[in-house]
Amino acid sequence: MNDDDLTRLNEILRPVARPQVLDGVYSDDQHARMLDVVKRNGPWKTITANHFDTVEELMATSNGGVPDNFDLTLDDMATGHFRGRFAEDSVCYYTELEDCFFNTHFLDLTRSYWGAQYARPQRMLFNLCGPHHSGLNAHLDAVTFRGIRIENSPVWLQNVMGRSGLFTEHLVKMAQVITRWYLGENGTFTYWPDGPAGQPVRLEHPLWNKGVVVQNEMMFHRGDPVGRPDERDIPGLRHRSVIGYDTEHDDWAITTDVEVIRRYRPEEMRLLVHWSAEVFQDLDEVKKNMDHSDDLTQDVVFERLLADMHARGIEVDDPSDPLHDRDFIRALVATYSIKPTTDWATPNAA
Ligand SMILES: [Fe+2]
């Protein structure tokens, strides 16, 4: 990627407006009901096990590619961070959380964040963890395009499309309200509101019922490592490990197969709730989404990506099964790899 590409992508990969920090996001009662659903409906898979079947797919979503001479497995990359879903595709799976999901206040926030007329709740996820090791790589959330969405396409493809900047006119506007409850150390949130070459900002403690309105699919961000470094080890953690609430002990247990490999006291846990809405500038945009007159197809997407790679002089064979072709996915990652060049600890350039 040359300097012109970087400059162009630094303009594209930034949110429509600066993130808005919120305090007291949910009521105590809503928090208690969400936590209760998490306790009663586990165990929950790791975030990566929710979304990725191969290392290539995982790396296409973060950054940097996969070293050719080093045979990493998903077990090598497993982290003790778990995910579940309260709602997907505008359907709330738990009636007791419908007031949290169909949230008029959040819809107001997201409409005004975009300066748009309409919005609808789209998804609601939670991330759950205690102290654990995690990297410092920033990422973008799955980007939604008309026709290419989480419901029909893998996350890595959505992200490659987002980072390529080739499909911006098909972008579905989105905004999220992301809220944390955490009493332990570290576990802050770092984000790049001025693009990957701009200075990052950190959402600081206290992180109890504290939220931020963001456009996370177009703004690099990361959850900073949770807990003290000396309490982050989880020996025996695997891609297939799960976490669940243990009523008998009143604690949270990570298990690999049936063996408990780590327990956390309730006060060690961090809960993050990720609410996401689709936003429509006006009625025309609502209709365009509803009637699918402006939808991309995967065939068109792969054609455009291949043509762009060929135009850049990149040698890549036409894949027969592009969704699962490891060489093709590696080529896409290498071509459209961009990540922040700054960090909050990095001094401003003179
Ligand atoms: Fe994210």
pLDDT in tens, 282-332: 999 999 999 999 999 999 999 999 999 999 999 888 888 999 888 898 899
**φ/ψ of residue 341, rounded to 5:** -100, 5
Cα 162 from Cα 323, distance rounded (Å): 16
Note the Cα 323 to chain centre separation in Å: 20
Compute, in angstroms, the gap from residue 222 CA to the centroid of ligand 1: 6
Query: For 257-319, where are the E strands, in sequence order?
Result: 259-264, 270-280
C-alpha distances in angstroms, 334 versus 51, 56, 148, 154?
20, 11, 21, 18
| Confidence band for 349, pLDDT divided at 50, 70 and 90 | very low
**Assigned token pair, 89:** 């595709």
Output helix, strand, coil percentages for the chain, rounded to the nearest 5: 30, 25, 45
Is the pTM higher than 0.85?
yes
Domain extent, residue 165, equals: 3-335
At 61 the pLDDT is 67
- Low-confidence winner among 34-38, 319-323, 346-350 (lowest mean pLDDT): 346-350
Residue 142 has pLDDT above 90, yes or no: no
| Residue 12 CA, ligand 1 centroid: distance in Å | 17
- How far, CA to CA in Å, does 278 sit from each of 113, 118, 119, 175, 287? 12, 8, 5, 7, 13
Q: Rounded mean pLDDT of 228-237?
A: 96
**Backbone φ, ψ for residue 46 (5° rounding):** -65, 160
Summary count for the chain: helices (H), strands (E) = 10, 14
Distance 138 CA to ligand 1 centre (A): 8
Residue 102 lies in a domain: yes
d(CA 301, CA 199): 32
Residue 345 forms part of a structural domain = no
Q: Are 41 and 84 in contact (CB under 8 A)?
A: yes
Span 247-269, pLDDT tens digits? 999 999 999 999 999 999 999 99
In a domain, 348, yes or no: no
Residue 214 structure tokens: 């963001």
| Cα angle, residue 26 at apex, residues 24 and 32 outer, rounded to 5° | 120
Q: How far is the CA of 190 from the centre of ligand 1 (A)?
A: 11
Ligand 1 geometric centre to CA of 301 (Å): 23
In this model, does residue 1 exceed pLDDT 70?
A: no
Would you put residue 44 in left (φ > 0), alpha (ψ -120 to 50) or beta?
beta
CA of 215 to the centre of ligand 1 (A): 10
Task: Please give the distance, rounded to the nearest whole angstrom, from the Cα atom of residue 191 to the centre of ligand 1.
Answer: 10
Q: How many domains does the chain have?
A: 1
Q: How far is the CA of 231 from the centre of ligand 1 (A)?
A: 23
Separation of alpha carbons 301 and 282, rounded Å? 26
More confident residue, 82 or 318: 82
Buried b / exposed e along 220-235 (16+ C-beta atoms within 10 A): bbbbebbbeeeebebe
Tell me what pLDDT residue 326 has: 85
CATH of the domain at 309: 2.60.120.620
Instruction: Grade residue 348 by pLDDT with cuts at 50, 70 and 90.
Output: very low
Amino acid 7: pLDDT:
82
User: Which H or E run includes 300?
Assistant: helix 298-311
Average pLDDT over residues 104-116: 98
Mean pLDDT of 2-31: 89
Confidence of residue 77 (pLDDT cuts 50, 70, 90): confident
Spacing, Cα 160 to ligand 1 middle (Å): 15
pLDDT at res. 62: 62
pLDDT at 166 over 80: yes
Burial of 346 (0-12, 13-18, 19+ CB in 10 A): exposed
Considering the domain boundaries, does residue 208 fall inside one? yes
68 pLDDT higher than 60: no
CA of 261 to the centre of ligand 1 (A): 26
The answer as to whether 214 is a domain residue is yes
pLDDT band at residue 69, thresholds of 50, 70 and 90?
very low
- Ligand 1 center to residue 210 CA distance, Å? 16
d(Cα 295, Cα 170) in Å, to the nearest integer? 7
204 pLDDT more than 90 = yes
Pairing label, strands 20-23, 221-223: unpaired
Give distance in angstroms: CA of 320 to centre of ligand 1: 31
| pLDDT confidence bin for 63, thresholds 50/70/90 | low
